[in-house]
């Protein structure tokens, strides 16, 4: 998902996230997660405190979310794609000559990330297991 001053673009199955962000942004600048200084403007601290029953997280910074997203993406995509999702340039000769947009790969990585976050936020009951585990045995 990118917000570069124009309309938000959303990859994959993140339409719910886009709806939440759009609702949060109503009447505010067309920027989302710009910097730590604007964290209060988008209400992220408040949202976290609400989810945690009124308890805020002490001494956290926005970069913690990027670091967590990058670490989770290591489980579902390759390193170059994860770096591109975060907007990092690929160094060296590959980065200089390769101008492909990698939209499909980034979409798949973000879908994988969304699925992992969904599993963390809404875990399956302990008595539900993935069928793939049993088929592989």
Which residue in this structure is represented by tokens 């998902």? 1
The whole-number pLDDT of residue 131 equals 74
Is residue 39 within 8 A of residue 131, CB to CB? The reply is no
pLDDT tens digits, one per residue of 2-55: 444 444 455 554 565 566 556 555 555 555 554 555 545 457 777 777 878 888
Average pLDDT over residues 67-71: 94
Q: Where does the pLDDT of residue 78 fall: very low under 50, low under 70, confident under 90, or very high at 90 and above?
A: very high
Answer whether 42's CB lies under 8 Å from 32's CB.
Answer: yes
d(CA 36, CA 20): 19
Give the mean model confidence (pLDDT) for residues 101-108. 93
Statement: residue 102 has pLDDT above 90: yes
Predicted local confidence at residue 73, as pLDDT: 96
Distance between CA atoms of residues 120 and 40, nearest Å: 25
pTM, entire model: 0.62
Residue 9, helix vs strand vs coil: strand
């Amino acid at each position: 998902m990118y917000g570069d001053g124009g309309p938000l673009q959303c990859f994959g199955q993140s339409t719910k996230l886009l709806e939440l962000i759009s609702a949060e942004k109503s009447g505010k600048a067309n920027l989302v997660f710009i910097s730590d200084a604007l964290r209060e403007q988008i209400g992220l601290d408040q949202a976290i405190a609400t989810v945690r029953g009124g308890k805020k997280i002490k001494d956290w910074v926005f970069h913690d979310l990027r670091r967590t997203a990058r670490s989770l993406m290591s489980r579902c995509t390759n390193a170059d794609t994860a770096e591109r999702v975060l907007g990092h340039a690929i160094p060296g000769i590959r980065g200089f000559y390769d101008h492909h947009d990698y939209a499909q790969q980034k979409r798949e990585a973000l879908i994988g990330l969304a699925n992992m976050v969904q599993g963390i936020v809404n875990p399956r009951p302990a008595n539900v297991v993935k069928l793939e585990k049993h088929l592989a045995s």
